[in-house]
Structure 1
Amino acid sequence: MKPSLIPAEQASRFYLHWLNADREKRQPKIQALSQTPLNRLDFPALLKQETDSGYSLPRAMRRIRNLLVCTIIERDLSGKADLSEVVEAMTLFAEFAIRTHLASIYDELADIHGVPMGAQSGKKQEMIVLGMGKLGGRELNVSSDIDLIFVYPENGDTVSSRPGQRLLSNQEFFTRLGKRFIGALSEITEDGFTFRVDMALRPNGASGPLVASIGMVEQYLIVQGREWERYAWIKARAVTGNPEDIETLQRIVRPFIYRRYLDFSVIDAIRNLHQQIRADVVRQERLHPERSNNVKLGRGGIREIEFLAQMFQLIRGGRDQALQDRSTRNTLHILAEKRQLDEETVNALLDSYTFLRNLEHRIQYLDDAQVHSLPSNENDLLLIAQAMGMDDSRQLLGTLQKHREFVSAQFDAIFSDKSTPQDQSKPVIPQPLLSSQTEEEQIHTLQTKFEMLGFADTKAAAQRMLAFWKTNRILSLSDNNRTKLISLINSLLPELRASAHDPLVTLGRLLDFFESIARRTAYLSLLTEYPAAAHRLMKMLDASEWAARYLTRHPILLDELLDARTLLAPPDWHFFTSELDRQLENQRSDTERLMDTLREAHHAQLFRFLAQDLAGGLTVERLADHLSKLADIIVEATLREVWLAMPKRHRDTPRFAVIAYGKLGGKELGYASDLDLIFLYEDDHADAPMLYARLAQRFITWMTSPTSAGILFDIDIALRPDGASGLMVSSFESFERYQNESAWAWEHQALTRARFCAGDETIGKRFEALRNRILRQPRDPAWLREKILEMRQRIHDAHPNRSALFDLKHDAGGMIDIEFIVQYLVLEYSLQYPELTENFGNIALLKMSEGLGLIPKDSGEKVSAIYRNFRKLQHQIRMQGAEQAKVTPESVIEQSDEVKKLWKQVFG
């Protein structure tokens, strides 16, 4: 911000008038105070100077206020103070004035009427003064009023130890306290006022009681709390009161403001509130042209930036406590950190906010008036322009216009009404039940519409649509939700013409999805407000049955469809992990919320992979790598949180490790794969076996228990030593002994796809060393082949294929055969070629085996390509909802024969 081109005496008539009243004394004070930041002022010391000079408390406070404002004007216009210093200094002074006056008046009233006591608690009652608006956000204007709400803990009566006092109910006591307190701050005297006080935000506004008990506040917010009050209460901050009472009040207010789901319905509510404010501003400007150019409430003004920040807070604040910040500037920074807004946009919004707030201050500096519009007087306008460091009013108005255009463009991008009139040239599917037609007539009408959409089986489509409208969920919809639903369906149905599959199938998926979310206004609002997200939804429903089911189970993931850049971006594991850790750290007092947070983070990232997968951006191998990495992070975080929640733990971190087998161990995890895990510990503490057994059990419970957010993973621990009859958790020593002395050949097979996953890294390193030693043991080739063939036959018998199709996984020449070939090669030749024990995956190990001459030339390359293709086919089939991946034998006969050929070459 450029320094003012004119001195404070010229830029502020208030400053000049105050200074001239006693220039000889006041100018040195300003000069002395203006040398240091004003947010470090010692207000108690300043007050003592005034009261020692004989001034009463109200008059002394006003004199300090005038001195502070004039010093702020001096420092601000000279470029010594930035916006942060100005608003913080005013906030700190307001808090000081509130606490000082309240304490003084409280003592006076208590001396006359006794001390208010709670009828139930029997405790002394203190009034909670809530700072709302910019006071609550610690961003108070220089000439702003202060928005307050008065709350007292509980009903009761005053108690006195002196006879003759007139006792009052707590309601009467605090009402008197509030009235006298407002007068002490706001009455205009020869020294002006300390602060104007606005009590309009209290429950029931001007018609409600001046003070309310916590119980009254709770009842009001539950029964009568309106949407706009949620925005107001975001800023609510207790300036006075007992900490326990303040926390009780916050526990009541927080769920009123913030929803535990993503609340996109607030967009429409904020839009309506903004339209009301704008209409009032336009009306005032029409009646009073001199009030044009309102930098607070006008187009592209301060309020629109505040609404932008509050919109994100109300949508996401219930799920992310970091967004429950009361400061507009802090919230914008947090939105950039959270990647809800890009950093460039946030920086530009902050620049505009700073410019507008500085301009607002210079408007108010003129006469210390609570005004927000540029003056119509040319001379005053020039003064303000020069106070902004600009040569003339034209430069000021041009710069203001640029900021307002930018802010209004950002505001409109989010808050403009997305509902557009239906294009009558396109076929519109009506809701038949709103008409007086018979069912046959309804079917006929719908068939005509579907014929226009290009459906082959129009009757089936019409019957499916009619059945949808007759479901109980749809019949019970509110008019608002029904209107949104009709609009959404009509906007998406034309896309069925370009369906990659049978349009009737996709129609069924779409209607199933809408039926599942129909009563959730927030989800319907999201899709209405973000048409691009609705179209991305349609593409995903069309592309995959599995994706359709997943979205139907987890509609909260619609949030991920908002930004294609985020949705399709490669994973940033450092950001993902640190953000997850931060959220978990803030919720450790709530086990249910911890479990939900883990699930929501996992589902959201998995959904991003799903979107990239369906868009063709991921190979099967890359997808498996990502899903395995995600599982590792979730396992690690879950283990840590379970341990921290354990009572009687004797260490900060457990000497405990999670070992992954199977698909996770081989980093070949799929979307719906379960986790094959074993648990090891190494701890000499007497209670270690029991403690770590409880840890493992609770870990499994946290992973598998269904919550409102679903489950994380199914866990299979059958591969632990001695299987189902063995202990859930093994000491490392006993696990090592078992592997050396008792393990079956198939358990060493499983070890080829095992790795340390989470927990104590020292145990992890010991496991990896043990694994290498076991795999590199000498083995009799004939015995090994016999054992592997036995296990292969057992698996084949357990998965009989009674169809005429080829089972890509279990049939001879399929994926299991390839995996068994690799496992045999690792167990047979690792002693000679230790590099085979590296957990590279089946494809890399096949190629390595060919390079080492363990299998015929070109067979490793060929079979690895076949394995890749089989995995791709399996993935595609399962994405369409099939439980088993089967294809016509003719389509893969050459490939399966190649696998059988290698099988015969390896096993004879």
Structure 2
Amino acid sequence: MNLPELVDLPPLVQALTQPRREGFMAAAQTDIPWPEDFWSQFDRVCTASDFVYQQVQQDPALLLELHASGQLQRAFQAGELCAQITAAVSVAESEDQLGRLLRRQRTRQQVRIIWRDLTRQADLVHTCRDLSDLADACIDQAYHWLYPRHCQQFGTPKGRRTGEAQHLVVLGMGKLGAVELNLSSDIDLIFGYPEGGETEGTKRPLDNQEFFIRLGQRLIKALDPVTVDGFVFRVDMRLRPYGSSGALVLSFNALEQYYQDQGRDWERYAMIKARVVAGDKVAGARLLEMLRPFVYRRYLDFSAIEALRTMKQLIQQEVRRKGMVDNIKLGAGGIREVEFIAQAFQLIHGGRDLSLQQRPLLRVLATLEGQGYLPAAVVNELRDGYAFMRYTEHAIQAIADRQTQMLPDGALDQARIALMMGFANWASFHQQLMHWRGRIDWHFRQVIADPDEEEGATGDLSVGGEWLPLWEEDQHEEAARRQLEEAGFHDAARALKRLADLRVSPQLRAMQRVGRERLDAFIPRLLAQAVEHADPDLVLERVLPLVEAVARRSAYLVLLTENPDALRRLLTLCAASPWIAEQITRFPLLLDELLNEDRLFSPPFAPELAAELRERLTRIPEDDLEQQMEALRHFKLAHNLRVAASEIAGNLPLMKVSDYLTWLAEAILEQVLALAWRQTVARHGSPLRTDGSPCDPGFVIVGYGKVGGIELGHGSDLDLVFIHDADANAETDGAKPIDSAQFFTRLGQRIIHMLTAHTNSGQLYEVDMRLRPSGAAGLLVSSISAFERYQEKEAWTWEHQALVRARVLVGCPRVASAFEQVRARVLSQSRDLPALRVEVSEMRAKMRDNLGSRVTAAGTGTNAFDANAPLDLKQDAGGIVDIEFMVQYAALAWSGQHPGLLQYTDNIRILEGLEQAGLLPGADASLLREAYKAYRSAAHRQALQKQAGVVSGNQFINERREVRRIWGELGLT
């Protein structure tokens, strides 16, 4: 982050340099030969800051010692500042002396921090951290000095339930909590203690609350009052429950109960930055965990925007009332607006996106950019504007150590601000300041402003206002029907009935007042956007079930009301696909994906997918299986939607759709295996290889069928086989050892459970394990040697056909390599081609008989090409399976002579290999590829329309005939 530049002292400031040098030298009464760079720094600091000059003139030894020790020239190491405070406090023999020592330490550190700030030896982050470390140390050391003496007087507080000694927990709020303290900030604190009880060790025990109230008062007295030595930190306790009228200290249970029952929106906003700064930090971490559900809701909470908007309006009213337009914190485009932008996203998304659950604003902004919530250009402007405003705040406060964010109106102080900010004069500084205030305010309005604000300002109706009377039944039915017809509805009566049914649905009758108000604001917007579509009836039919589903969780309605573009994308996708409409209705959390158009229509590639899921899971505690499973399911739902949306928008062709869906499955399987492995090993230890070393994991998940062939579609299940290479006779090395077969069976069962279990977010995948050796009767997990024996001696030809499309999805590279060798040996073995053709043909005939369209004899009847006859794209003659069987036949027949055919598992590239090897004419190979893609593309479209893979028989006539021709030319029947 760029520091303000060093510029020459302006004349008004320069006039102070000589008198202040002489004043300091006279007070110091020393002949120390100061280096010239010291005097240049002295002039800059002591003419800009009256506070620093007053302190060093009153106590020249302070500056002499800071300079001699080198502490003006270097940054402190971690813990160094705290060590200085601790050493100073340790000699205190009374509370008065404690107060004096703390105040002197504060003055010393304040001089050092301002000096380093104004001489550009410390940037904003370092200055704020030093100030926050100073506050932490002063609070914590004062507390630990007071606590034992308080116990001597009143006894030691003990918990009624645990019997353990109790300590105070001090929460730092606001800038202190975020480690962003400014040069003259007060500190916002909240006091708590773990549990009720009373003190022990005195004749007259005190209730724990009374004990800690008195202790809290003594702690505040040590820090807050202004004495001849100054003050340590102004302490503000108004953020505690019930504010100034509430008890100074509450137990954890009382705090949790308050925030659960009575916590207000602004208290959620404040609690984002809460941090344990002193006292019992272990118990403090437990308290913050208890309060986390109050701050971060598990659902998308767009109601937070309205709360922040209300807070901002109140602040603006106060600014105007008190004439604080020049306040760089609270005024338009000020520091608070940047904080509001960041915290709006934290409150809305933080319950689900744990990366947003952090305190420092600059790190939150970086996360908003990294996670795609805000464009990089916006974040850069907010970051630079915020830094400029905070440097300006420090410059204002450095002058006299006063807690103010008001721009000065005196010429001297204006010249000082310009100097400290690296400008030649006030005019050039002020121009840059107003630039940043304008940019910050513009971005603030994009995030926080009311979507009706502009319309309201011009006196027009709010968005969709013309539909409000219809929704609220304030007009006759005939007028309402006419309004719908004129707007483009084809069946106005049916549309009215749908709205009426929604109005009287049980979900709406059970809504609370706030929820109903949100619905009343949303429906007119929905109707206003629905009529922009070619078929508004269809839009209403598909979207109203979603409205009914989320009626009791009206924050989703706020999301769509606050984000007109998201609503527009929702209607477009629902109009295009009932499958998408159903998915979003079942899982409304997917509405979050509609907020960012770039992210919605640009699904990530395989490495980014895997990295994103890994990062998401690392933020979840290792023992929280429920949250891990929810995170996996939400990840899959979100990326499935992104792929479908991209397909509908034309951004992804068929092959890329399957690629993305397959990459998604692989990323999920990788993490499911990692989680299941960790949990199983934690219980039983690691299985061992034949050389005695632990498996790592010595296990692979093999994909067959669509996932093996990189051809997954929407809603596809996974055909999987599990294989390991552990020592079958060895036991695991854990506290509860079991043999390897048991271990891997339990691992496989855990993997299947994690994939198939139904949670609030549905299941990950249907899993089919019937392709494993011996099918449903076989072991769940095979050793690599058993798998090889089965494939070579017992497997049917159709199982070898399936092996053509088999590949390792995730797991141990060593076992994966062994599997590839087994696959290659099995598939490339010499075969009796006439017998192979018979077996492949017979298997295909069975499938057609059982699964094809009966009315057309699976596409072989005389009516196969009639418009009124059905065509099963997959199973009927000349369809998808015929092409797959030809590819599998060719791989089994010729891979012994042409091993390149085994390199890939997808049909398209195997067909390319057959063409390159001269085993299929180029025209035929090309025809099969294009027909295969056309069939699958049609099947994808059917899936998005929630229809089976069946179309009318007059489609794909030429393709089917040609596929059947090639089938016959290969000798298949």
Structure 1 residue 445: Cα displacement: 3.7
1:578 matched residue in structure 2: 611
Aligned 1:49-128 pairs, distance under 5 A: 56-128=97-169
Counterparts of 2:187 and 2:233, CA distance in 1: 7
Counterparts of 2:517 and 2:281, CA distance in 1: 46
Which of 40, 54, 60 aligns to 1:17? It is 54
Structure 1 residue 857: Cα displacement: 5.5
Which of 837, 843, 847 aligns to 1:785? It is 837
Counterparts of 1:45 and 1:512, CA distance in 2: 64
Which of 197, 200, 204 aligns to 2:235? It is 197
Counterparts of 1:564 and 1:45, CA distance in 2: 52
2:787 matched residue in structure 1: 735
Counterparts of 1:30 and 1:46, CA distance in 2: 19
Structure 1 residue 753: Cα displacement: 0.8
Which of 604, 620, 628 aligns to 1:594? It is 628
Structure 1 residue 608: Cα displacement: 1.2
Change (3 A) 1:497 1:413: closer
Structure 1 residue 47: Cα displacement: 6.4
Deviates more, 1:651-660 or 1:674-683: 651-660
* SS state at 1:148 partner: strand
1:886 matched residue in structure 2: 950
1:227 matched residue in structure 2: 265
Counterparts of 2:962 and 2:471, CA distance in 1: 60
Q: Does 1:898 align with 2:962?
A: yes
2:643 matched residue in structure 1: 609
Aligned residues: 894
Counterparts of 1:424 and 1:183, CA distance in 2: 53
Counterparts of 1:196 and 1:25, CA distance in 2: 23
Q: Does 1:306 align with 2:347?
A: no
Change (3 A) 1:417 1:633: same
Structure 1 residue 336: Cα displacement: 2.4
Deviations 1:199-220 (A, max 9, x none): 0011111010011111110111
Conserved 8 A contact 2:316-2:331: yes
* SS state at 2:808 partner: strand
Conserved 8 A contact 2:49-2:399: yes
Change (3 A) 1:94 1:262: same
Aligned 1:797-808 pairs, distance under 5 A: 797-802=849-854, 804-808=869-873
Q: Does 1:682 align with 2:732?
A: no
Structure 1 residue 136: Cα displacement: 0.9
Counterparts of 1:427 and 1:295, CA distance in 2: 37
2:36 matched residue in structure 1: none
Counterparts of 1:90 and 1:425, CA distance in 2: 48
Q: Does 1:747 align with 2:747?
A: no
Change (3 A) 1:860 1:572: closer
Counterparts of 2:300 and 2:439, CA distance in 1: 27
Which of 485, 501, 504 aligns to 1:470? It is 504
Counterparts of 1:369 and 1:427, CA distance in 2: 50
Change (3 A) 1:296 1:640: same
Change (3 A) 1:293 1:780: same
Change (3 A) 1:431 1:725: farther
Change (3 A) 1:485 1:112: closer
* SS state at 2:191 partner: strand
Counterparts of 2:370 and 2:549, CA distance in 1: 33
Q: Does 1:213 align with 2:251?
A: yes
Conserved 8 A contact 1:112-1:166: no
Conserved 8 A contact 1:721-1:738: yes
* Unpaired stretches in structure 1, ≥5 consecutive residues: 286-290
Structure 1 residue 167: Cα displacement: 2.6
Conserved 8 A contact 1:427-1:452: no
Structure 1 residue 752: Cα displacement: 1.0
Which of 621, 624, 627 aligns to 2:658? It is 624
Conserved 8 A contact 1:262-1:315: yes
Q: Which one-letter code corresponds to 2:951 in the other structure? A: V
1:358 matched residue in structure 2: 391
Q: Which one-letter code corresponds to 2:306 in the other structure? A: D
2:777 matched residue in structure 1: 725
Q: How high is the TM-score relative to the length of structure 2?
A: 0.88
Counterparts of 2:92 and 2:116, CA distance in 1: 27
Change (3 A) 1:640 1:334: same
2:5 matched residue in structure 1: 2
Q: Does 1:868 align with 2:920?
A: no
Counterparts of 1:93 and 1:173, CA distance in 2: 27
Counterparts of 1:339 and 1:397, CA distance in 2: 33
Counterparts of 1:495 and 1:529, CA distance in 2: 14
Conserved 8 A contact 1:431-1:469: no
Counterparts of 1:532 and 1:857, CA distance in 2: 48
Counterparts of 1:259 and 1:53, CA distance in 2: 46
Which of 843, 846, 852 aligns to 1:794? It is 846
* Unpaired stretches in structure 2, ≥5 consecutive residues: 10-43, 687-693, 732-738, 856-868
Counterparts of 2:148 and 2:760, CA distance in 1: 50
Deviates more, 1:151-160 or 1:48-57: 48-57
Conserved 8 A contact 1:150-1:212: yes
2:546 matched residue in structure 1: 513
Counterparts of 2:494 and 2:254, CA distance in 1: 56
1:277 matched residue in structure 2: 315
Conserved 8 A contact 2:702-2:809: yes
Aligned 1:755-774 pairs, distance under 5 A: 755-774=807-826
2:442 matched residue in structure 1: 409
Aligned 1:653-668 pairs, distance under 5 A: 653-668=696-711
* SS state at 1:255 partner: helix
1:171 matched residue in structure 2: 209
Conserved 8 A contact 1:813-1:900: yes
Q: Which one-letter code corresponds to 1:871 in the other structure? A: R
Counterparts of 1:350 and 1:511, CA distance in 2: 41
Structure 1 residue 852: Cα displacement: 3.6
Q: Which one-letter code corresponds to 2:685 in the other structure? A: R
Structure 1 residue 242: Cα displacement: 2.9
Counterparts of 2:955 and 2:217, CA distance in 1: 87
Structure 1 residue 876: Cα displacement: 1.4
1:489 matched residue in structure 2: 523
Counterparts of 1:193 and 1:10, CA distance in 2: 23
Deviations 1:138-164 (A, max 9, x none): 11112111111111111111111x6xx
Counterparts of 1:892 and 1:343, CA distance in 2: 47
Q: How high is the TM-score relative to the length of structure 1?
A: 0.95
Change (3 A) 1:460 1:27: same
Conserved 8 A contact 2:870-2:953: yes
Structure 1 residue 255: Cα displacement: 1.0
Structure 1 residue 49: Cα displacement: 6.0
Counterparts of 1:389 and 1:843, CA distance in 2: 64
Deviates more, 1:58-67 or 1:661-670: 58-67
Deviates more, 1:31-40 or 1:803-812: 31-40
Q: Which one-letter code corresponds to 2:677 in the other structure? A: W
Structure 1 residue 585: Cα displacement: 2.3
Q: Does 1:844 align with 2:887?
A: no
Q: Which one-letter code corresponds to 1:895 in the other structure? A: E
Change (3 A) 1:577 1:892: closer
Deviates more, 1:520-529 or 1:220-229: 520-529
Q: Does 1:633 align with 2:685?
A: no
* SS state at 1:150 partner: strand
Counterparts of 1:146 and 1:425, CA distance in 2: 43
Conserved 8 A contact 2:804-2:888: yes
Deviates more, 1:549-558 or 1:187-196: 549-558
Change (3 A) 1:63 1:851: closer
The alignment-based identity, stated in percent, is: 39
Conserved 8 A contact 1:158-1:169: yes
Conserved 8 A contact 2:129-2:180: yes
Counterparts of 2:468 and 2:330, CA distance in 1: 41
Deviations 1:743-770 (A, max 9, x none): 0011011111111111111111111111
Structure 1 residue 495: Cα displacement: 4.7
Structure 1 residue 353: Cα displacement: 1.6
Q: Which one-letter code corresponds to 2:969 in the other structure? A: Q
